Structure 1
């Protein structure tokens, strides 16, 4: 599903901020991406999403060489990926419901076919009473849950989640994790970036991708 071979990244003429990254993410797997603050977890996720281009090395996404893809092909591949970044990226003029349903609208689906599914997911993440609210009146935790719901609604082949439980209380964090686990069981590969050791300890069998000193270490 994802393969990195000797990937390096630098900005301008500066030193490499990530170097010699070689790893793969197989279908239907669950892994944590961890490391100290500033190690490059978010940057690595942007590389996987192809929103950053590596300085060197090869990235293969869903069997295709990323260096040969045009803009339309990259857009098509991204539709297979659900993404939750820390800045949420909700559209201010859309309600919570509309933000979550947006990927389905982009796919051309009729609202009558997906409305019940969106409403049910919003209830699951605790936003059933906030579905008609605009992002400006949502708390940070509510925005985070809306971003998670938007990423999950398309049942992606790959989910990238950057600190998805960082702004919610422990009970809701466990509930969201159960949602990720169920998504994984249904066939989605899940990559959760976190520095929360307690969170990772709940999933001792999960693979760990550890960033440190600009390199990635893999622990199966």
Structure 2
């Protein structure tokens, strides 16, 4: 079953040229793929389409069995709750502790903290932040902030996880550790799409590649 399907999708901003042209691909359930391509090729735009922050100028996007163009605001919000996203700039709130940042999506949903606290604490330990749960983001290192951002995306148990250059601000050793977190998440049933230009990681973690170039998408199947 495909969680996402793009069929001849095009997107332009205003009256400018198309940023994406005739993009067609699918994201199967329980799949893992890298999104690659040079700067300016449209990777972030494609991620925004996958996160339902943009709608296509033309073509068809089906997500969780629904045509995204026809979704109401309420339906869009419901679909987004099935998606986790790790932004390149972390987007942690500096006045909240690490624990509070990770728990925020559940708090926004109105869930009872007495029910979700054990799960948040367990996840903090899983990403190696168990001893840092009560500190504020300005105290965290770049790698710790990245792991916190990943944990915040995972706490909602997403069916689809999107990550924009998640290893761009960490050293190679930590980058491999972070990728292993994504691999373990994928093994637990979440589909993962990671945008990266890190050639070393691409070689160390063989997986399907969605390569953007000049607004066109090329699919490269790789044996895992």
Shared fold per TM-score greater than 0.5: yes
Mapped pair 1:99 → 2:101 = yes
Q: Which residue of 1 aligns with 2:146?
A: 144
Shift of 1:10: 0.9
Q: Which moved more, 1:102-111 or 1:22-31?
A: 102-111
Counterpart Cα distance in 1 of 2:184 and 2:15: 44
Task: State the match for 1:59 in structure 2.
Answer: 61
- How many residue pairs were aligned? 219
For residues 66 and 100 of structure 2, the distance between their equivalents in structure 1, rounded to whole angstroms, comes to 32
Secondary structure in structure 2 of the residue aligned to 1:114? helix
SS at match of 1:129: helix
**More moved, 124-133 vs 144-153:** 124-133
**More moved, 107-116 vs 14-23:** 107-116
Runs of 4 or more above 4 Å deviation = none
Please list every run of 5 or more consecutive structure 2 residues that lacks an aligned counterpart in the other structure: none
Partner in structure 2 of residue 213 of structure 1: 214
Q: State the partner residue of 1:37.
A: 39
Distance 1:137 1:43 in 2: 31
Q: Secondary structure at the match of 1:57?
A: strand
Deviations 1:127-172 (A, max 9, x none): 2232222223333333222111100112210000111111122222
Equivalent in the alignment of 1:83: 85
Tell me the residue number matched to 2:190. 188
Distance 2:114 2:194 in 1: 32
Shift, 1:86, TM fit: 0.8
User: C-alpha distance in 2, partners of 1:139/1:179?
Assistant: 18
Q: Single out whichever of 127-136 and 1-10 deviates more from structure 2.
A: 127-136
Q: Distance in 2 between matches of 1:178 and 1:116?
A: 23
State the superposition RMSD in angstroms. Answer: 1.5
Equivalent residue for 2:117, pick from 75, 91, 115: 115
Instruction: Tell me if structure 2 keeps the 8 A contact 1:155–1:183.
Output: no
* TM-score scaled by length of structure 2: 0.92
Gaps of 5+ in 1: none
Alignment partners' CA distance in 2, 1:173 and 1:203:
11
**Conserved? CA contact 2:143–2:174, under 8 Å:** no
1:161: which partner in 2?
Answer: 163
Are 1:8 and 2:6 an aligned pair? Answer: no
Give yes or no for contact 2:41–2:213 (8 Å, CA) kept in 1.
Answer: yes
Distance in 1 between residues matched to 2:166 and 2:72, nearest whole Å: 30
Alpha-carbon shift at residue 14 of structure 1 (Å): 1.1
Mapped to 1, the partners of 2:185 and 2:66 lie a distance apart of: 24
